[in-house]
Amino acid sequence: MKTNVKPEKQFVLDYVAENADALAGVCDSLFWFGEPAMQEERSAELLSGILEDGGFSVERGISGFPTGFMATYGEGEPVIAVHTEYDAAPNNSQQPGVGEHAAIVEGAPGHCEGHNVNGAVMISAVMAARRAMEAHGIKGTLKVFGAPAEELILARPYYVRDGYFDDVDVAFHPHLWDRFFTEYGVLQRAVVSAEFVFHGETAHAAMSPWDARDALDGVMLMDSGMAQYREHLHPGMGMQRVITDGGDQPNVIPSRAAIWWFFRDTTAEGAQKLFEHAKQVAEGAALMTKTELEVVIKTAVWPVRGNETLAHTLQRNIELVGMPEWEETDQEMARDIQTGAGIEAQGLTTEITPLEGPSASIPAANDCGDVSWKVPMGRLWFPSNIPGVTFHHWSAGAALATDIAHKGGVAGAGALAATLMDCFTDPSVVSEAKTSFAKETEGVDYAPMIPPENTPPLETNRAIMEKFRPLMEPHYAPDGPKFR
Ligand SMILES: [Zn+2]
């Protein structure tokens, strides 16, 4: 029992601690499901099922995402939302607890970042908050958003566009890291994700190439044009691509070829500008190759920002909860994985990271960006991974179904649940967050970049899961985790 802690806050901290096994169970179940973007069937079923059994009303399939959901508990104001992701990534299969690259199923998708822990932390924190609301007669509405396909930066711009955050007062996003901290300011980049498909005409590549219109030439020339343009990018901008269709075999000139780009910038406007430039380059490539161009916007997301008021509230609760008490076996495992990955064997972080001034944004993105311009948003980073590892590398997957992930998750869920209690019981938190948010976003006219007619790409990763699910199923965790 901590001193000077309000009873409802003590309630959620106790709840999270008493349900640590259930949090670990969710964490591990999601880990072994290892479902990549848009294929999170079992994961979404597990998470939304726990909330439904726990008294939330659940709406599944929101914004056309079969593996997305919104769960609601309570009524009236304030309306506090928590949202997070639970997708794995292709070809990231990794056994937990070993200090070397060892796939569970060779070539299969898996968790090598930790969105499985994010899902577990969200569920534990909102279950704690929901029980406290009942036990302490707390008024207000708690909304929980399951957001699929974070790795493709997909779901949340659609949710915001479709009005799911219209009545939300403040929102929180938990995500693991190797440290326990929060931050504010612009934290991550905006992205436009678009595929450029060139359509031409086939011919025998040796016998009559003059009769063809080569779609792959369109792709190569666009890539070349963008490579030249790299020289002229504004600092803060960036772009990456893969060729998703390069034809079938060398003696058939391809009538279809495609290249998929991420265009990034520190501002939504900058990412949009880069995309507009790329469209012109692609049109030039189509003109040169006498092919037709089709541009498919997959998603477009604003940069993630963190609200200062909510950062201070989160930080107080991070300090209240404190770092997990790592055992020597946890430290040994961390050093073993670090050694195996060829990085400094420094072990696990043992101190809380202090809250500093506005953050410098990192080059990555998260699809919660739109949420963070729609409403004040707090970002909680909790300590469930190992310092020095690189996300999407085996070393970032090796701790994700171990005591390291579980203990960091319990700390994260405690801090998040305690912060939810502050928002529900102290009206000044929400009102001050709104005031500081208005200042932070002054002069910015937020409107979703995602086009109104866009629908989610349902086929994404389907073939991968059809191939690997039967091989992954024997590894699924046996029992469904139970929260009280
Ligand atoms: Zn992530």
The residues near 172 (Cβ < 8 Å, ≥ 6 apart) are 80, 81, 82, 83, 310, 314, 377, 378, 379, 380, 416, 419, 420
Cα of 241 vs centre of ligand 1, distance in Å, is: 19
Cα of 174 vs centre of ligand 1, distance in Å, is: 10
- Name the burial class of residue 97, with classes exposed (0-12), middle (13-18) and buried (19+) by CB atoms within 10 angstroms of its CB: middle
Cα of 252 vs centre of ligand 1, distance in Å, is: 40
User: In this structure, how many other beta carbons lie within 10 angstroms of the beta carbon of residue 204?
Assistant: 12
User: Closest Cα partner for 460 from 155, 45, 156?
Assistant: 155
Q: For residues 397 and 385, what is the distance between their CA atoms, to the nearest angstrom?
A: 8
Cα of 37 vs centre of ligand 1, distance in Å, is: 12
Within 230-295, residue ranges assigned H as helices are: 268-289
The pLDDT of residue 360:
85
Cα of 176 vs centre of ligand 1, distance in Å, is: 8
The pLDDT of residue 1:
53
Cα of 113 vs centre of ligand 1, distance in Å, is: 6
Cα of 393 vs centre of ligand 1, distance in Å, is: 13
> CA separation (Å) from 414 to 17, 170, 320, 331, 457?
8, 18, 9, 22, 35
Cα of 281 vs centre of ligand 1, distance in Å, is: 31
The residues near 298 (Cβ < 8 Å, ≥ 6 apart) are 152, 154, 193, 194, 195, 260, 457
Cα of 481 vs centre of ligand 1, distance in Å, is: 23
Cα of 319 vs centre of ligand 1, distance in Å, is: 23
Cα of 291 vs centre of ligand 1, distance in Å, is: 38
Cα of 70 vs centre of ligand 1, distance in Å, is: 20
383 beta partners = 177
pTM for the model: 0.94
Cα of 87 vs centre of ligand 1, distance in Å, is: 9
Cα of 300 vs centre of ligand 1, distance in Å, is: 17
Domains recognised in the chain with CATH numbers: 7-188+303-475 (3.40.630.10), 191-300 (3.30.70.360)
Cα of 215 vs centre of ligand 1, distance in Å, is: 34
Q: Which helix (H) or strand (E) holds 341?
A: none
Cα of 126 vs centre of ligand 1, distance in Å, is: 20
And the tokens for 165?
């955050």
Q: Strands, E, within 51-139: which ranges?
A: 57-60, 69-75, 79-84
The pLDDT of residue 478:
84
Q: What is the CA radius of gyration of the chain?
A: 23
Cα of 274 vs centre of ligand 1, distance in Å, is: 24
The pLDDT of residue 361:
84
List the chain pLDDT tens, one digit each, 484 residues.
566 899 999 999 999 999 999 999 999 999 999 999 999 999 999 999 999 999 999 999 999 999 999 999 999 999 999 999 999 999 999 999 999 999 999 999 999 999 999 999 999 999 999 999 999 999 999 999 999 999 999 999 999 999 999 999 999 999 999 999 999 999 999 999 999 999 999 999 999 999 999 999 999 999 999 999 999 999 899 999 999 999 999 999 999 999 999 999 999 999 999 999 999 999 999 999 999 999 999 999 999 999 999 999 999 999 999 999 999 999 999 999 999 999 999 999 999 999 998 888 889 899 999 999 999 999 999 999 999 999 999 999 999 999 999 999 999 999 999 999 999 999 999 999 999 999 999 999 999 999 999 999 999 999 999 999 999 999 999 878 899 9
Cα of 1 vs centre of ligand 1, distance in Å, is: 33
User: Closest Cα partner for 279 from 297, 256, 257, 264?
Assistant: 297
The pLDDT of residue 2:
60
